[in-house]
Amino acid sequence: MTTSHAAVSSLLAAWTTCACSPDEADAVEAHLRTCETCRADVRGLAEATRSLAPQETQPPEEIRDKVLAATDRPDIPDYARAYAATVSALSALLKELDADDDVTEQLSRLTAADRLVADQLGVRDQKTWQQQADAICCALTRKPLPPELMLARAYETWICARDIAMATYKELPPPPPEHLHAIAGFAASLLPYAAAYRRMAQPDIVVRLVLAGPGGGTWSLPLEDHGVITVEMTMDTEAFCLLMAARTPPRSVDVMIRGDVELGYDLLDAGPALVAR
Amino acid sequence: MDGDSRQRLVYGDHSALAEVYESYGASVYAVALCVTGDTAVASDITVDAFVRLWDRPLAYDPSQASLKCWLAMLAHRLAVDWLRENNIAPGDRVTADRPVALAALPDLTRQAVELAYFDGRTYQQIAIELGIPAGTAKARLRAGLRELAAAL
């Protein structure tokens, strides 16, 4: 089956109405992944099928229950929901990869890092990242763990998923605001440790971190709100999380610093210091 | 917002699936029913469509179509697959009323679009049934969809 642009282009209307053979459909789908002209064409053709779709008809009541029952997930305790969410996202991403996309390196690193949590939950002998993550989520419904530990896992799972998305040219949305907020809070709590690691910590430094955009919030660090705010830094929430994960160079983050500006920049430079490389 | 729904589905938010079902369940069921003419089959297809969306949320590309349109196309595909697997002849099932927009098309394009969309014919089969070259069948489908799009 030829996959030339001209051949596929003439098939697009047939493809949109499911009127071509399975081989032709495969060829069209493969071509669409790389041809923006044909993708734009399909957008218009797909819209046209709206007028073919009949009047909405209420399905029988039990269909809704069947859908929800078939897609049910374990009831994860609140403090671990960010982790379960990022596991879902990485799992979804892995399903879209081709045979040629090799992500074993990223996944084995993540699987190894998750092992600490797995061991604490009595989860053993899982062969793949997915199996271990699913077993961890299941075990979490029965045994509690420190919230910071699960937030650290959520953070690392999301960053790993994002790394894989970038390496395979796939698009992955960032975590929804509630989870991004939890992850950002955890990343913010790392700043004092990063400062100490770089021997910058002084007892009377208080940093106010203002994160903007979805999942945003304000944190004062150290967490006990005593003393005078020495420096205030404002930036986008997701950008801050990526900075602390050493995925964005500190100097390319769009940040507003008030107060001790030099200290602010030093803190940003120090932030990613805790990431294992 | 389709982007927000997709984001929540990707991150495993079950309530997002419930909301998407509330919004588009009726549309999905209607497509499945009008093509298969069978309420039990249409019910199964409806469940299947939403389970597939939950299972592979990143397979939905918002830049290609609205979520409603994507789900309707998925339902259509599953319904046409069922027609083909079960070798359903046009006389064997209840045919639903055709949408008004179809009647507005010129006869030749309307015929091709109807055979493809509602009867699950491939363009090759349409060509044979109408006694026209395969290329003409493809072209009539394209012309039909173009006109429908223009009338939106």
Q: Is the pLDDT of residue A224 over 60?
A: no
Q: If contacts are CB pairs under 8 Å, which of residues 163-192 in chain A contact chain B?
A: 170-176, 179
Q: If contacts are CB pairs under 8 Å, which of residues 12-51 in chain A contact chain B?
A: 12-14, 16-21, 39, 42-51
Helix H segments across A22-128? 22-32, 36-48, 62-70, 81-95, 104-120
Residue B88 is predicted with a pLDDT of 77
- The structure's pTM equals 0.91
Q: Is the pLDDT of residue B145 over 60?
A: yes
Q: How far is CA B31 from CA A64, B57, B99, B110, in A?
A: 17, 21, 11, 18
Architecture of domain B2-85: Orthogonal Bundle (1.10)
Question: So where are chain B's domains?
Answer: 2-85, 97-150
How large is the average pLDDT for residues A141-153?
Answer: 95
Closest residue in B to A175 (Cα–Cα): B11
Q: For residue B6, give both structure tokens.
A: 């997709």
> A167-202: per-residue pLDDT in tens?
999 999 999 999 999 999 999 999 888 887 777 666
Average pLDDT over chain A reads 91
Instruction: Indicate the angle between helix axes A237-244 and A177-197, nearest 10 degrees.
Output: 40
HSE-CB of A139 using CA atoms within 13 angstroms: 16
Partner-chain contact A95 B17, CB within 8 Å:
no
The 3-state DSSP class for residue A254 equals coil
Same structural domain for residues A264 and A213? yes
Q: Which of A45-54, A206-215, B9-18, B37-46 has the lowest mean pLDDT?
A: A45-54
The whole domain housing A44 covers: 5-51
Residue spans of beta strands (DSSP E) within chain A: 206-212, 217-221, 229-236, 255-259
Q: How far is CA B106 from CA A10, B96, B150, in A?
A: 20, 21, 14
Closest residue in B to A92 (Cα–Cα): B56
Architecture of domain B97-150: Orthogonal Bundle (1.10)
Residue A49: closest CA among B66, B136, B95:
B66
Mutation pick from A20, A26, A49, A181 vs chain B, by most beta carbons of B within 10 Å, is A49
Partner-chain contact A57 B26, CB within 8 Å:
yes
Q: If contacts are CB pairs under 8 Å, which of residues 78-137 in chain A contact chain B?
A: 84-89, 92-93, 95-96
Count of domains observed in chain A:
3
Residue A201 is predicted with a pLDDT of 64
Same structural domain for residues A249 and A202? yes
Chain A residues with beta carbon closer than 8 angstroms to that of B7: 173-174, 176
A1 touches chain B (CB under 8 A): no
Q: What's the one-letter identity of residue A163? A: D
Q: What is the ipTM metric for this complex?
A: 0.91
Residue A225 is predicted with a pLDDT of 47
